[in-house]
């Protein structure tokens, strides 16, 4: 750990805003897991690597002992208030630039508020599905929708630093890696708009629940069109893999080679070695380290080391993937620094790497690669 | 290792009985691998992690030096006799409660004999395929079979602590996660019973080999019916994954959510990270650690650490998965304690976990989670 | 590392020849990755585990400091000349016997030249696809081709030590593990020969690019026929897995059991645990360690340890998988020795393995298993 200098000025290449409300124990606990349901009877999400990491890194930042009991931590959090807590925590991350995916629902802070609370910079990542929903809200027909969508994507590409898609990678290009034709896109768009309209009518008449029918676009053709619209703009495109095997994206990676748009694979754990392999096979494919480190706590060093096996060091990008709790920003950043120091420091101590190379690679992964890919210095 | 107190009173949540016969070198060696065939020419199953683990942990319990030659160990084993050997070995495991899957063929000891030899408690796990075969032996028609099966499952649920299925997870819900309809179940049952009857007639006339045709139920519809019959009873259901990807069970996990029946994933290696992930995503899904630790010898700590990445600590269950040799009970239990001590002890030494938390998590995985899931204290 | 004696006289069970030309920085760099395209803008393949490993192990062999800059290393390489460089590097590998896959295109040294430069022995591995292309060049009809192919395979089996196939494992038996019938083989052969002929005519008339149409056989039926022709000869058959899951070969492994031909799984990373598992399940299946160690640099010990979890120790085979650069021969051999020493030495230090066993297993994996499988001492 003492063998490599710490990375200053991290770029968190994928994160979300934090909640503005004061949180009770149960509300806080629910955010420690990405599961849709609560913990099993007799268990708690505090008993996870994420829970233990929060208890390791955060209490000292609020003047408590590391590993203190959750209830005590939450009491102190409420005592300080959400604004002061958020300020203290974000300022302890060492992140100089936040790239914020603003496409999540819920009352989360936006890039400007994060920048202000953290005393750092923040830029926006536009989520394609959320953009499509906004455009649909003001478009009558499929043709209008498609024209407006093209304009919205183009406009977003002027201010945002990247696009992201949470469903596209799983359902779009995995089925067909080529751009869908205009006819099938119009049909798919029409079907989705009609579903939304039916839903809205049902909601107005009280006959149905707004959540039962449509939601964000899920049709493979429509998702494929969203991805290819983003590819046409040239901004980097971040693709959530969820639990899917990154090899499902091999066809899309091949089809987008040489077009000038970089693909960044998010959420590849436990397939991070495959994501790293794919990043080594294609010049325009990059691999995110985010949640794989932030969520695995004491094991982050082992997971990082696996990602470093086949990925060229210029193709790995730090992120926290944090959302809702500033604690998750702290955990993501601390785990990354700690893991990077241990892994690279160990290799330097063994003589496998030179100290100079280790420091250089640490800076690349922590910020340099992201600055280049997202053109942050332009 | 000295950082965490040892787990007393383990619950082995999935194991089998041991052989009653005296064993020669070749018979013993064959049990060291789960392969259907013998070792390759010029090799021996003693040259495996399992073989080395047996030679590490067992000879001292029979008054020999660790790592002594296999022939010497077997000679001493015969000298002591199988009863005394079994007694000595089982009493050295530290297991207080054995949950015994009684569905394996062969002359293996049952729960009562294990309890007596080990000076411990033992409870039964009922294998659904074996139960179906027993019921088929006394049922004439498909209708009778299905009624008798329902009664047998209900009766078993009164005495057993869990059901298990070795083929259901691979062939049943992976194809269709929903309960099959009564009509298709009756058809599938009729087909299976007819196959059994044809086989029996052929065997009686000497025209065929009893093993060529039917065996335990393999039809996806029939297997699906067995699983859903078990789910309806509310006892935990253990599912062998074999070499299948746990994600094949994602649909079944979603379909059984909220029904009050827990699913325990067995034999997930090398997909144990995925199994852990699935256990984190669903309140009613648990992950077994058994053979993944017992079979990987000196690597058990690394495998355990991987399982601890995403699984909530309340969702992991110790087992040995041992069968036929009491040596495998010893190896499974010793490897688990050793690995747990090293992994958690290392995290305590690094400051990542508190000592109190480590001891608490060790007790949860070693016995507490199993006591809660299988209601052993009721 | 000091706990296990070094393995002398390695057998590299799968490698290729080296380039005869003097190399510039860019040509050299291109060989550090197996990617089809170059590095991403702003990155270099020197910034990979392979690049760092070359800079760790090779400069001292050319009288430079470890980890010196690539340009300096390349300058010294040119100063010494390719002949002297190759001689120095190959003689530092500790490899006593090279098994050389001669089926790669490009101006690479053959077995005799490698043997001479290295002061070692070398034997040939025949690549089935390349053999088929040679036979096709002199065969007019499908029938002639199939007769000539059978003779060529038979002739090769008299001098070569093994066959290998780079596409067969992925596209042949994964679809159908059984030998294809004579009729479909003749049809597939006819189609492939016709495609080659059309291509040749187009090339002669300048109307097309020689690379657009046919290449080596890719038809599953034809590939299946190649594999089964090799299986019929009894020589070990090496199967490249590429990025495919080894479980896709489970059917072919079962279909070839007991026929007397061993299968050796190459390039299984990141599925090396599955390959090891398959090697444990079938007496005639072996797992190669090659590129998984050679390409992962400082992580080779972790990857080796994973392969040692389920594979019987008599079923793992060392190789470098090196091609084009003698540096890759050095890296593969040094990483293997280093990793083996660290992993086994660590287990000896922990008391998990005896020192005698560790030395024995090291010798098996480094050379003994290969000598037995490839009958090198006959």
Query: To the nearest whole angstrom, how far is the Cα of B268 from the nearest Cα of chain C?
Result: 12
Q: Which residue of chain A is at minimal alpha-carbon distance from C46?
A: A312
Which is it for the CA torsion A311, A312, A315, A321, positive or negative?
positive
Q: What's the mean per-residue pLDDT of chain A?
A: 93
pLDDT at residue A209 is higher than 70:
no
Which residue, chain included where needed, has tokens 């077997």? Answer: B74
Question: Residue A66 above 80 pLDDT?
Answer: yes
Rounded distance between C-alpha atoms, residue C374 and residue C361, angstroms? 18
Least confident of A150-164, A255-269, B124-138, B233-247: B233-247
- Which are the contacts of C105, defined by CB distance < 8 A and separation ≥ 6? none
Residues 6+ apart with CB under 8 A from B217: B129, B132, B133, B167, B192, B223, B226
Contact list, A317 vs chain C (CB under 8 Å): none
Q: Which fold has domain A10-22+91-178+228-373?
A: TIM Barrel (3.20.20)
Asked whether the predicted pLDDT for residue A6 surpasses 70, the reply is: no
CA distances from C17 to A84, C165, C318 (A): 65, 17, 17
Q: Do residues A303 and A296 touch, judged by C-beta distance below 8 A?
A: yes
pLDDT score, position C60? 98
pLDDT, tens digit (0-9, with 9 covering 90-100), for A280-290: 999 999 999 99
Q: Are C40 and A315 in contact (CB under 8 A)?
A: yes
Q: Which of C116, C107, C122 is nearest to C160 (CA)?
A: C122
Q: Name A56's Cβ contacts closer than 8 Å, sequence gap at least 6.
A: A66, A67, A297, B351, B352, B353
Which residues fall within 8 angstroms of residue B355, CB to CB, at 6 or more apart? B3, B4, B348
Gap between the Cα atoms of B292 and B302, Å rounded? 10
- Whether the per-residue pLDDT at B27 is higher than 90: the answer is yes
Identify which of A270, A295, A296 has the shortest CB distance to residue B274: A270
Strand A263-266: give its sheet, edge to edge.
A10-15, A95-101, A121-127, A162-165, A237-240, A263-266, A285-288, A316-317
As given in the structure block, the two tokens for residue C193 are 């020969």
For residue B286, the SS3 value is: strand
Question: Which tokens is B260 given?
Answer: 């009050």
Number of Cβ within a 10 Å radius of residue A378: 5
Helices (H) and strands (E) in chain C, counts: 17, 8
So what's the ipTM on this one? 0.95
Q: How far, in Å, CA of C45 to CA of A283, rounded?
A: 11
Per-residue pLDDT tens over the stretch B175-232: 778 999 999 999 999 999 999 999 888 888 876 554 445 789 989 999 999 999 999 9
What pLDDT was estimated at residue C319?
98
Crossing angle of the two packed helices A326-350 and A82-91, in degrees rounded to 10: 20
Indicate the SS3 state at residue C126: strand
> Would you state the pLDDT for residue A202?
86
Q: At C263, phi and psi to the nearest 5?
A: -110, 135
C-alpha span between B165 and B218 (Å, rounded)? 11
Name the minimum distance, in Å, from the CA of C364 to any CA of chain B: 10
- The answer to whether residue A172 scores a pLDDT higher than 90 is no
pLDDT higher at C248 or A339? A339
Taking 90 as the threshold, does the pLDDT of residue A343 lie above it? yes
- Give the pLDDT score at C212: 44
Are A106 and A46 spatial neighbours (Cβ–Cβ below 8 Å)? Answer: no
User: What pLDDT sits at residue B227?
Assistant: 95
Burial class (CB in 10 A: 0-12, 13-18, 19+), B326: buried
Q: Which of B108, B89, B116 has the alpha carbon at shortest distance from B327?
A: B89
| 3-class state of residue B282 by DSSP | coil
Instruction: Note the pTM of the prediction, 2 decimals.
Output: 0.96
Residue B198: φ, ψ to 5°? -60, -40
Nearest to C216 by CA among C195, C245, C241: C195
β-bridge mates for residue A108, sequence order: A19
Q: Hey, are the CB atoms on B47 and C361 less than 8 Å from each other?
A: yes
Could you give the angle at the alpha carbon of A42 between the alpha carbons of A37 and A44, nearest 5°?
Answer: 55
Residue B266 and residue B263: Cα distance in Å, rounded? 10
Q: Is the pLDDT of residue A215 over 90?
A: no
Inform me whether the pLDDT recorded for A207 exceeds 70.
Answer: no
Task: Show the tokens assigned to B268.
Answer: 């997930």
Instruction: Give the percent of chain B with pLDDT over 70.
Output: 96
| Contact flag B314-A40 (C-beta cutoff 8 Å) | yes
Measured CB to CB, residues of chain B less than 8 Å from chain C are 33-45, 47-49, 52-53, 55-56, 66-67, 243, 269-270, 295-299, 302-303
Structure tokens at A66: 């590391």
Q: Which residues contact B298 (CB under 8 A, 6 or more apart)?
A: B49, B52, B53, C347, C350, C352, C353
Q: What is the CA radius of gyration of chain C?
A: 21
Q: For A91-134, how does the pLDDT look when each residue is reduced to its tens digit (9 = 90+)?
A: 999 999 999 999 998 899 999 999 999 999 999 999 999 999 99
Report in angstroms the alpha-carbon separations of C362 from B105, C3, C9, C277, C328: 38, 12, 12, 19, 21
> Which residues does C contribute to its contact with A (CB < 8 Å)?
33-45, 47-49, 52-53, 55-56, 66-67, 243, 269-270, 295-299, 302-303
- Distance CA(C331)–CA(C94), nearest Å, equals 11
Torsion angle, alpha carbons of B260, B262, B263, B267, to 10: -170
Chains linked to A by 3 or more Cβ pairs within 8 Å: B, C
- pLDDT bin (cut points 50, 70, 90) of residue B1 is very low
| 8 Å CB contact between B17 and B114 | yes
Tell me the chain B residues in contact with residue C306 when contact means C-beta distances shorter than 8 Å. 299, 302
Measured distance CA(C295)–CA(A53) in Å, rounded: 32
Q: Which fold has domain B10-22+81-177+223-373?
A: TIM Barrel (3.20.20)
Q: What is the mean pLDDT of residues A147-168?
A: 95
Q: Please check whether residue B295 is in contact with residue C311, taking contact to mean a CB–CB distance below 8 angstroms.
A: no
Half-sphere exposure of B276 (CA within 13 A, CB side): 25
In 3-state terms, what secondary structure has residue A206?
Answer: coil
Asked if B263 and B285 count as a contact pair (C-beta separation under 8 A), the reply is yes
- Categorize the per-residue pLDDT at B2 as very low, low, confident or very high, splitting at 50, 70 and 90: very low
Pairing, β B237-240 against β C10-15: unpaired
Does B21 or C173 have the greater pLDDT score?
B21
Among candidates B282, B305, B313 on the partner chain, residue whose Cβ is nearest the Cβ of A48: B313
The pLDDT assigned to A244 comes to: 83
Domain boundaries, chain A: 10-22+91-178+228-373, 23-80
Residue of A32, A40, A72 to mutate, testing the B interface (most B Cβ within 10 Å of its Cβ): A40
Asked if C370 and C261 touch (Cβ cutoff 8 Å), the reply is: no
Say how far apart CA B222 and CA B180 lie, in whole Å: 8
User: Quick one: pLDDT at residue C248?
Assistant: 86
Do the Cβ atoms of B305 and A299 come within 8 Å?
A: yes
Place of tokens 């007639």: B201
The SS3 of residue A38 is coil
Q: Would you say the C-alpha torsion C140, C144, C146, C151 has a positive or negative sign?
A: negative
What is the chain C residue with the closest CA to B69? C357
The predicted model gives A5-12 an average pLDDT of: 79
Q: Is A346 helix (H, G, I), strand (E, B) or coil?
A: helix
> What does the pLDDT average to over B109-126?
98
Domain C10-22+89-177+219-373 is of which CATH architecture? Alpha-Beta Barrel (3.20)
The DSSP annotation for B25-87 comes to HHHHHHTT---SS-PPTT--TTSSHHHHHHHHHSGGGGTS-TT--HHHHHHHHHHH-HHHHHH
Q: Is the pLDDT of residue A275 over 60?
A: yes
pLDDT tens for chain C, residues 1 to 378: 444 555 679 999 999 999 999 999 999 999 999 998 999 999 999 999 999 999 999 999 999 999 999 999 999 999 999 999 999 999 999 999 999 999 998 899 999 999 999 999 999 999 999 999 999 999 989 999 999 999 999 999 999 999 999 887 777 776 778 999 999 999 999 999 999 999 888 888 876 554 445 789 989 999 999 999 999 999 999 999 887 888 889 899 999 999 999 999 999 999 999 999 999 999 999 999 998 999 999 999 999 999 999 999 999 999 999 999 999 999 999 999 999 999 999 999 999 999 999 999 999 999 999 999 999 987
Strands A10-15 and A285-288: unpaired
| β-strand partners of A287 | A265, A316
Q: Please give the share of chain A, as a percent, with pLDDT higher than 70.
A: 96
How many angstroms separate the first and last alpha carbons of chain A?
A: 33
Question: How far lies C197's CA from each of C42, C128, C207, C208, in Å?
Answer: 43, 20, 14, 13
Query: Residue B356: closest CA among chain A residues belongs to which residue?
Result: A67
Instruction: For B164, list phi and psi in degrees, rounded to 5.
Output: -140, 155
C231 Cβ contact list (under 8 Å, min separation 6): C237, C256, C259, C261
Phi-psi region of B42 (alpha: psi -120 to 50; beta: other; left: phi over 0): left
Q: For residue A270, say if its preceding peptide bond is cis, omega within 30 degrees of 0.
A: yes
pLDDT at C6: 57
The closest CB to that of C309, out of B33, B35, B296, belongs to B296
Per-residue confidence (pLDDT) for residue B4, from 0 to 100: 52
Closest approach of B137 to chain C, Cα-based (Å): 32
């Amino acid at each position: 750990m003492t063998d490599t200098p710490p990375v200053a000025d991290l770029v968190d290449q994928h994160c979300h805003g934090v909640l503005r409300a004061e949180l009770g124990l149960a509300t806080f606990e629910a955010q420690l897991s990405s599961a849709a349901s609560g913990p099993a009877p007799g268990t708690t999400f505090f008993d996870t690597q994420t829970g233990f990491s929060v208890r390791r890194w955060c209490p000292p930042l609020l003047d408590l002992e590391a590993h203190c009991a959750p209830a005590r931590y939450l009491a102190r959090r409420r005592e300080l208030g959400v604004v002061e807590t958020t300020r203290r925590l974000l300022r302890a991350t060492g992140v100089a630039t936040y790239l914020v995916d603003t496409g999540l629902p819920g009352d989360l802070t936006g890039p400007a508020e994060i920048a202000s609370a953290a005393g750092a910079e923040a830029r926006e990542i536009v989520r394609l599905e959320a953009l499509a929903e906004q455009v649909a809200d003001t478009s009558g027909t499929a043709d209008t929708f498609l024209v407006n969508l093209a304009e919205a994507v183009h406009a977003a590409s002027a201010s945002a630093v990247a696009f992201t898609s949470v469903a596209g990678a799983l359902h779009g290009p995995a089925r067909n890696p080529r751009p869908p034709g205009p006819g099938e896109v119009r049909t798919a768009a029409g079907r989705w708009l009609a579903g939304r309209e039916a839903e809205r009518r049902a909601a107005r008449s009280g006959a149905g629940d707004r959540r039962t029918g449509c939601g964000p676009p899920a049709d493979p053709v429509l998702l494929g069109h969203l991805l290819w619209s983003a590819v046409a703009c040239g901004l980097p495109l971040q693709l959530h893999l969820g639990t899917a095997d990154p090899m499902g994206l091999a066809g899309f990676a091949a089809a987008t080679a040489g077009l000038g748009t970089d693909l960044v694979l998010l959420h590849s754990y436990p397939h991070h070695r495959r994501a790293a392999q794919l990043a080594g096979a294609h010049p325009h494919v990059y691999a995110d380290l985010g949640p794989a480190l932030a969520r695995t706590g004491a094991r982050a060093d082992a997971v990082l080391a696996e990602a470093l096996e086949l990925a060229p060091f210029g193709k790995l990008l730090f992120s926290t993937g944090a959302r809702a709790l500033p604690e998750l920003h702290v955990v993501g950043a601390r785990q990354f620094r700690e893991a990077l120091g241990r892994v690279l420091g160990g290799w330097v101590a063994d003589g496998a790497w030179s100290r100079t190379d280790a420091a250089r690679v640490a800076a690349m992964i922590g910020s340099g690669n992201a600055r280049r890919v997202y053109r942050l210095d332009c």
